Amino acid sequence: PAARPLAGRRIIVTSGPTHEPIDPVRYIANRSSGKQGHSIAAALARLGADVQLVSGPVTIPDPADVSTTHVESARQMRDAIESLLPADAAIFVAAVADWRTADAAGEKIKKVAGEGPPALQMVENPDILAGVGHHAQRPFLVIGFAAETQEVLKNAQAKLDRKGADLIVANDVSHDSGIGPGGVMGGDRNRVRIVSKTGAEEWPELTKEEVAARLAALVAERLQATQT
Ligand code: C5P
């Protein structure tokens, strides 16, 4: 096979968390280091793809040979992706916050003695993957991620339909501490299942780099079937 099987292919990747402001100094976010998403972007670039990475706030560096757009909120991420379409494939690795505050305060919310905490009114964020999965300019290949704690397979398969994705990369985070070297989130290792409409393929425990390399190879294989 060609050394750069993804040459000429444009691929969008999302990575990292989103930050949803409460006021100028506080935000709501999911735990996400960006390690898995950034590794996937880098692995696709190594196979020759024109990679458009849209990243929420992370502390790791931008991957080499990748065009990176930095955003903060889910709505900014959605707008960035809209402006990057069309693409051959899109891989949604970001841990997007499901909710944001209905209106972020323009000034820092003051802690006033005796008044108690503020009540935050939340509204739902756009589902970026579902938007692209059902888009008029839907990429040929759309891949989502799913962190599940129970009924991993059943939930991932339901997600395929709802989000209009071809594949869901599912990982069981039920035993995850959530932080540190032992956990998937923030850690360097991952154990995933590749779920499609017809079944699931279980991958062994791998480093996030190895998951990225395998996934990039899978993307190359799937796109090979289409015309350049
Ligand atoms: O529904 P759930 O959050 O489990 O779905 C996870 C998948 O959907 C991931 O691929 C994630 O990047 C994507 N997602 C998204 N926009 C959201 C929520 C999730 O793109 N608002």
The b/e string for 104-135 (b: 16+ C-beta within 10 A; e otherwise) is ebeeeeeeeeeeeeeeeeeeebebbbbebbeb
Say if residues 113 and 135 touch (Cβ distance below 8 Å): no
ipTM for the predicted complex comes to 0.96
Maximum Cα–Cα distance for the chain, whole Å?
Answer: 69
Q: Which residue has the tokens 């360097």?
A: 188
When pLDDT is cut at 50, 70 and 90, the band that residue 181 belongs to is very low
For residue 190, indicate whether it is catalytic: no
When pLDDT is cut at 50, 70 and 90, the band that residue 22 belongs to is very high
Using one digit for the tens of pLDDT, what is the confidence trace for 57-66? Answer: 999 999 999 9
Please report the domains of the chain, with CATH numbers, ordered by start residue: 10-101+119-224 (3.40.50.10300)
| Residue of 161 and 228 predicted with greater confidence | 161
Q: Which residue has the tokens 């540190």?
A: 180
Report d(CA 10, CA 44) in Å as an integer: 10
Summarize the confidence of residues 142-162 as an average pLDDT. 91
Of 143, 47, 127, the C-alpha closest to 89 is: 143
- Probe target for ligand 1 pocket from 19, 78, 92, with the most ligand atoms within 8 Å of CB: 92
User: Which amino acid residue places its CA nearest to atom 17 of ligand 1?
Assistant: 127
Residue 152, pLDDT score? 85
CA of 114 to the centre of ligand 1 (A): 39
Summarize the confidence of residues 40-48 as an average pLDDT. 98
Report residue 6 as tokens: 């993804």
Check pLDDT > 50 for residue 180.
no
Atom from ligand 1 closest to the CA of residue 165: 10
